Amino acid sequence: AVDGGERGVNAFLHVNTEEALAVAAEVDAIRAAGGAAAEQLHVLAGVPIAVKDLIVTIGQPTTAGSKILEGWHSPYDATVVKRLRAAKMPILGKTNLDEFAMGSSTEHSAFGPTRNPWDLDRIPGGSGGGSAAAVAAFEAPLALGTDTGGSIRQPGAVTGTVGVKPTYGGVSRYGAIAMASSLDQIGPVSRTVLDSALLHQVIGGHDPFDSTSLPDPLADLVAAARVGNIEGMRIGIIKELHGEGYQAGVENRFNESLELLKQAGAEIVEVSCPNFQYALGAYYLIMPSEASSNLAKFDGVRYGLRVLPEDGPMTIERVMGATRAAGFGAEVKRRIILGTYALSAGYYDAYYGSAQKVRTLVQRDFEAAFAQADVLISPTAPTTAFKLGEKLNDPLAMYLNDVATIPANLAGVPGLTLPGGLADEDGLPVGIQLLAPAREDARLYRVGAVLE
Ligand code: GLN
């Protein structure tokens, strides 16, 4: 039994074939005419792209996977979308996600789950399961995702695709509906490392509309993906991010990747990041805290849904209450409650305050590790894709999927996942994660292109 379209995958919430075909036709005409205009076309001109429905677009609805935004149209394009349009990349449609990007399975979407193209009974990861599934199912060659705690990398791992969370500030967040502003990053989803580099080069670089955007020019990531040599590079295995708790087939593919890197001339070292064990706990305080504040704007007045109370006085507070009760799903409500609790007077120091201290410790662990290694490596997720419904009623089990991806968000460092082969037990894709120091995204592409 499958729901939704696309042979049951249900990756898209909205498809915009007409506009996509019009842009493709425009590119064809420019190419056919030749001359300077044809030469100036970007290499990705005419290559269609799917966009996670957390990123706002003119001409297509943006829902964030939530009933509260159903039917809402943004009056402006996100900066990344403007850059896609400037490169003449047809925007194929908007992809499914866990509501407001909260989840690891895409089952928390208000519009039904996306399914993993490798096995329709399994989850495609989350929150960006739609983008990863669209690329894995050959529905789109490229997609955009957002990654707050792993939502680009974990779906990439379980669908056998490539995904990159850029350095914090490396890609503009302007027009990405904010979940946790200090952690969110937009990034590429693709089938090859070079494709991600090409897309990253289109969307990256400074944007005055994002106050956290890095001022420095974007490095040549495409060139890095084409170096084809990692001789003498030091690759650090993070001791705390493999072994116990990781599926045997995941470990096997991980160990094979280390062998491949050695054969390519890299030096493999082991590093220890002792504070990573607290990262998940800190994330699930910081993320809901920021989300509870960011989601306050969905008040039934400014955007989307408005539900009026059935009886009694029509005060703004009661309209807000009725709208949020009907418009938000269970996971979003859970996190708003968690976040407002963690931020409330009397608890602030104990919860939010100590989580921020852990964040500093995680950053220091990374600094120490990067003194010993140029790039760090781990499995991207502890297991292959699990079955739909398996973890839906157990939030803690769901949260544990992010154990290897979250540290990068807490520290703002870039991470890439690439397919490492199929697990022996179940024949499902395994993801290998590479991490680099902030602003050194190029290293991920250099190593990733050799490993893939
Ligand atoms: N799965 C994580 C969460 O539920 C990460 C989400 C994300 O990166 N958007 O918070």
Percent pLDDT > 70 in the chain is 99
Instruction: Provide the angle, in degrees to the nearest 10, between the axes of the packed helices 79-86 and 193-203.
Output: 110
Q: For ligand 1, is residue 381 a contact (CB within 6 Å)? A: no
Residue to substitute in 98, 383, 401 for testing ligand 1 pocket (most ligand atoms within 8 angstroms of CB): 98
Q: Is 147 in the pocket of ligand 1 (CB under 6 A)?
A: yes
| Stretch 309-329: mean pLDDT | 95
Please tell me if the CB atom of residue 148 comes closer than 6 angstroms to any atom of ligand 1: yes
Q: Given this model, what pLDDT does residue 345 score?
A: 87
pLDDT at res. 348:
87
Point out the least confidently predicted range of 22-26, 249-253, 348-352: 348-352
pLDDT tops 50 at residue 108: yes
- What's the mean pLDDT in 391-407? 92
DSSP 69: G
Cα dihedral sign for 6, 69, 65, 93? positive
Give, using CA atoms, the residue closest to atom 10 of ligand 1.
102
Q: In the beta sheet, which residues pair with residue 146?
A: 186
pLDDT tier at 91 (50, 70, 90 boundaries)? very high
The catalytic residue positions are 52, 127, 151
The Cα–Cα gap between 48 and 42 comes to 13
Ligand 1: residue whose CA is nearest its atom 4: 103
pLDDT at 4: 58
Q: Is the CB of 151 under 6 A from ligand 1?
A: yes
Question: Looking at residue 302, what is its pLDDT?
Answer: 86
**48 with 140: CB under 8 angstroms?**
yes
Distance from the CA of 154 to the center of ligand 1, in angstroms? 9
Burial class (CB in 10 A: 0-12, 13-18, 19+), 395: middle
Say if residue 3's pLDDT is above 60: no
Look at the block and give the residue holding tokens 């490492």: 420
The Å distance, Cα 316 to ligand 1 centre, comes to 31
pLDDT: is 400 or 156 the higher one?
A: 156
Mean pLDDT (whole number) for 120-148: 98
Tell me, using a 6 A CB cutoff, whether residue 105 lines ligand 1: no
Residues 225, 442 contacting (CB under 8 angstroms): no
pLDDT, tens digit, 9 for 90 and up, residues 153-163: 999 999 999 99
Least confident of 104-113, 197-206, 343-352, 359-368: 343-352
Would you say residue 421 has pLDDT above 90? yes
- The answer, yes or no, to whether residue 1 has pLDDT greater than 50, is no
| Ligand 1 proximity of 155 Cβ (cutoff 6 Å) | no
Domains for the chain: give ranges and CATH numbers: 6-228+415-451 (3.90.1300.10)
Indicate which atom in ligand 1 lies nearest the CA of residue 151: 8
Determine the average pLDDT of the residues in 381-394.
Answer: 95
Whose tokens are 């902030």? That residue is 438
pLDDT band at 2 (very low <50, low <70, confident <90, very high): very low
Dihedral (CA of 283, 177, 366, 214) sign: negative
pLDDT at residue 5 in the model: 72
Looking from the CA of residue 179, the nearest atom of ligand 1 is 9
Residue 185 beta carbon below 6 angstroms from any ligand 1 atom: no
Mean predicted confidence (pLDDT) in 268-289: 97
Q: What number is the average pLDDT over the span 234-249?
A: 95
Residue 397, pLDDT score: 87
ipTM reported for the complex surpasses 0.90: yes
* pLDDT over 80 (residue 273): yes
Q: How many angstroms is it from 176 CA to the middle of ligand 1?
A: 14
